[in-house]
Structure 1
Amino acid sequence: MQLYVDLIWLLNLLFDWMILLLVAWVTKSSFSHVRIFLGALFASLIIPLTLLFNWGVVDSPIFKLGYSVFIILIAFSYQHFKAFLTRFLSFYLINFSIGGAVFGLHYFITTNTDMVINNHAPFGDTISWVVVLIMFPIAVYFTKDQLQQLTMFKLRSQQQFPVTILHQNRHVALNSFLDTGNQLKHPLTQHPVILVDEPTFKTWIDEETVELLKRTEQMDFWGLDDELQFIPYQKAGGEQGLLPAFLAEEVKVDLGQQIISTKKVYIGVHYGHFSKQMDVQCLLNPLLLQSKRMRVKDVEGVS
C-alpha cells in the first residue's frame, strides 16, 4: 500500500501549529506568527523522519524531550529560564489535555468498521482530518477561555499597574488598581469597561459636559457628546444606574515583564477620586487581561 506521507505530515503540522498558538495565548507570551509556524514545521518533521528513515532513537523519551526543547526555542525567543520552563511545561500540558480530548472524541465517534477501513487509508485517518480541521479549533477556542482564568491568580498578588490610555491623539499615563470585583461590560459588544477618576475623564470630555452628567439624574441625552455611551450597571444597594463611557482608541497595561494592549475597551467615569491612601486614577477590569484581542509585548531588559 502507498502512503501519502505529505498529507499525514500536513495533518500533524496543523495540529502542532494550533498547539503552539494555544501555548502563546495561555502563557501570555509575545510571539511572532512566523516563528510559531517554523516551530510547528520543525515539530512536524518528526513524522517523515520516523516513516522514511525508521530511526529507533526517535521513539525514545529522551529524544522526544530534547526535540521538544528545540520546538519551544524555535517558536519563542529565549528570555530567561523561568519563561522557557513555563512554555515547555504548558506545551506538554496542552498536548496531553487537547490530544487526550481529541483521541477520546475520535474513539467515541469511530466504529470498529471505520477503524479497519481507516487503518488502510493511504492519506491518514479521515476522522482525524475532521477532528483537527473542525473540532480541534472549537476545542482550542473554549479551552483558551478556561485556561486564561488561571492567569489571574498570579496577577492578584500585584494589583497596581501603570496604564496608558490613547484617545483623541492624547496619551495619558495613569496608576491603576486591578479591581477583581469589576466585571462591567458593554451589554451589546461585551467589551470590558474600566473606570478613571473625574479629573482624568475631563482630559477627553469637556468639563461642562462632565458637570452636566453629575447634576442630571433624569438624564437628557440631547446635546451631549456624540461619542458618549451610557452603560447600565447596578450599584451596591441594588439601585440601577447609567455609566457615561467612551470607546478608547488603545489601552496599554504594563505588567512589568510584559505590556499588553487592546483597542476594545470602554472608559467610564468615577466622580471624584478613588482613594486618599493610594495614588490611583484608574480601576482595571480583569476581563481586560483575558481579552482574545489582547496583544502582548515583552519589555526588553526585564527578566
Structure 2
Amino acid sequence: MIVYADLLFFENLLANCFILKLTSAISGCGLKVFRTVLAASLGALYAVFAVALPGIVMMTSLITKISISVIMVLIAFRIRNLSEFLKRWGMLLLSAFLLAGCTYALSNIFEGGIVSYGGLMYLSPQGVLKAFLFSSGLCIVLVMPIGRILSGKVLREGSVVPVHIRLGDRSVRFNALVDTGNSLIDPITGYPVMVVEAESIKSILPPEFYKSVVSNNMGAYIQTSQRADDNIWLKRVHLIPFKSIGRENGMLTGFRPDNIRVCQNGAFKEINDVIVGICSIKLSNNAKYSALLGPAMLSKI
C-alpha cells in the first residue's frame, strides 16, 4: 500500500481542525485560529510518523495516542485548572469518536472501505469525501444541542437575564424573565414578540408615542401624526393581537428596534427579527425583571 505523506498530513490536518472545532462547540469555549492549526498540525505529524515508522511499537501505542491528544488540548485551549482540562479533553475524545464512527459507517454506504495499516485506520479513496462530508454535517447537527446543554447556554424557564435594546442613537438595558408561556408572534412578519414594561423603554421612545401607548389611545395618535419624524417612526410600529384571562381580543402595540442583545454567560448575543411589545402594566411585583422572553425568541440565540 502506498501512502503519500503530504496527502496524509493534509487530510489529518483538516480532520483535526474539525474535531477541535466540535470540541469548542460542545464545551462552549472559543478557539484561536493559530492555536487550532498548531494543535491540528501536531496530530497530523504524529499520523505521518506513525505510518512512516511502523517498526517502532511506541508510535502506535495507547500511551502515545493519549499523550498526543493531551498535548493537542493544552495547545488549542487556554487551560486554567485540572477540571477544565478534563472537560476539554473528554470533549475532544467524544468529538473524535463521533466523527470517526460516522465516517466508518457511511464509508460503506458510499462505496468506500476501511484499510488498516501501521496500527491506524484509513479510508479507501472511493467514497471517502462523501462519507467525511456527510459525517461532518451529521456531527454538527448532533453537537449543536449537546453543546448548548453542556456549556450551560440553554436559558431555563424562570431565568432572569439582562437585555440591551438600541433604537437610533438611544439605548436602554433591563432584566427579562425567560417565560415559555409567552408565545406571542407578530402576524404580519412572523417575528417573535418580547413583552416589555413601558416604563423600562420610555427613554428611547418618542414622548407622544409613549403617552398614546400608556393611555391606550394609539388610534388617535396614528390619525394625528403629521410630522415627518412621526411618519418615519410609524413604519416601525406593529399591532399584535393577543388573548389573556378575561380579555379575548386584546391588542398590544409594538415596535421594531435596531438591535436587541441578550446576555448569556457574561456575553451579549445579538438577536435579529424581534418585535418589542409594550406593556403598560407591571410584570413583576418585586421589580426583579421588566420583560418576558418567549421560546421563539430564545431559539434565535
TM range (shorter): 0.7 to 0.9
The 5-angstrom pairing of residues 15-54 of structure 1 reads 15-54=15-54
How far 1:159 sits from its partner (Å)?
A: 1.6
- 1:280 aligns with one of 270, 275, 289: 289
The code of the aligned residue for 2:60 comes to: D
Partner of 2:270: 262
Is residue 202 from structure 1 mapped to residue 212 from structure 2 by the alignment? no
Pick closer, same or farther for the CA change 1:153–1:24 going to 2, 3 Å: closer
* Alpha carbons 2:28, 2:148 under 8 Å: kept: no
SS of residue in 2 equivalent to 1:105:
helix
Instruction: Provide the C-alpha distance between the structure 2 equivalents of 1:115 and 1:190, rounded to a whole number of angstroms.
Output: 47
Partner of 1:298: none
The code of the aligned residue for 1:90 comes to: M
Instruction: Provide the C-alpha distance between the structure 2 equivalents of 1:287 and 1:19, rounded to a whole number of angstroms.
Output: 31
Select the structure of larger CA radius of gyration. Answer: 2
Query: Which has the higher mean CA deviation after the structures are superposed, 167-176 or 155-164?
Result: 155-164
Higher relative contact order (CA 8 A, sep 6+): 1
Partner of 1:253: 263
Is residue 147 from structure 1 mapped to residue 126 from structure 2 by the alignment? no
Structure 2: runs of 5+ lacking an equivalent: 226-230
Instruction: Provide the C-alpha distance between the structure 1 equivalents of 2:191 and 2:172, rounded to a whole number of angstroms.
Output: 21
* Alpha carbons 1:165, 1:250 under 8 Å: kept: yes
TM-score normalised over the length of structure 2: 0.74
Task: Give me the CA root mean square deviation.
Answer: 4.0
TM-score normalised over the length of structure 1: 0.73
Partner of 1:82: 83
Instruction: Provide the C-alpha distance between the structure 2 equivalents of 1:43 and 1:141, rounded to a whole number of angstroms.
Output: 21
* Alpha carbons 2:241, 2:252 under 8 Å: kept: yes
Instruction: Provide the C-alpha distance between the structure 2 equivalents of 1:253 and 1:27, rounded to a whole number of angstroms.
Output: 18
Pick closer, same or farther for the CA change 1:176–1:34 going to 2, 3 Å: farther
SS of residue in 1 equivalent to 2:204:
coil
SS of residue in 1 equivalent to 2:105:
helix
Instruction: Provide the C-alpha distance between the structure 2 equivalents of 1:190 and 1:142, rounded to a whole number of angstroms.
Output: 25
How far 1:276 sits from its partner (Å)?
A: 1.0
* Alpha carbons 1:194, 1:265 under 8 Å: kept: no
How far 1:7 sits from its partner (Å)?
A: 1.7
Instruction: Provide the C-alpha distance between the structure 1 equivalents of 2:298 and 2:83, rounded to a whole number of angstroms.
Output: 21
Partner of 1:136: 135
Pick closer, same or farther for the CA change 1:259–1:215 going to 2, 3 Å: same
Give a deviation string over 1:210-252, Cα, whole Å, max 9, x none.
Answer: 4445434899699462562538675456868666232443515
Instruction: Provide the C-alpha distance between the structure 2 equivalents of 1:91 and 1:31, rounded to a whole number of angstroms.
Output: 13
* Alpha carbons 1:192, 1:264 under 8 Å: kept: no
Partner of 2:228: none
Instruction: Provide the C-alpha distance between the structure 2 equivalents of 1:240 and 1:149, rounded to a whole number of angstroms.
Output: 36
Structure 1: runs of 5+ lacking an equivalent: 295-303
How far 1:50 sits from its partner (Å)?
A: 0.8
Instruction: Provide the C-alpha distance between the structure 2 equivalents of 1:220 and 1:189, rounded to a whole number of angstroms.
Output: 20
Partner of 1:225: 233
Partner of 2:4: 4
* Alpha carbons 1:248, 1:267 under 8 Å: kept: no
Is residue 160 from structure 1 mapped to residue 160 from structure 2 by the alignment? yes
How far 1:267 sits from its partner (Å)?
A: 4.9
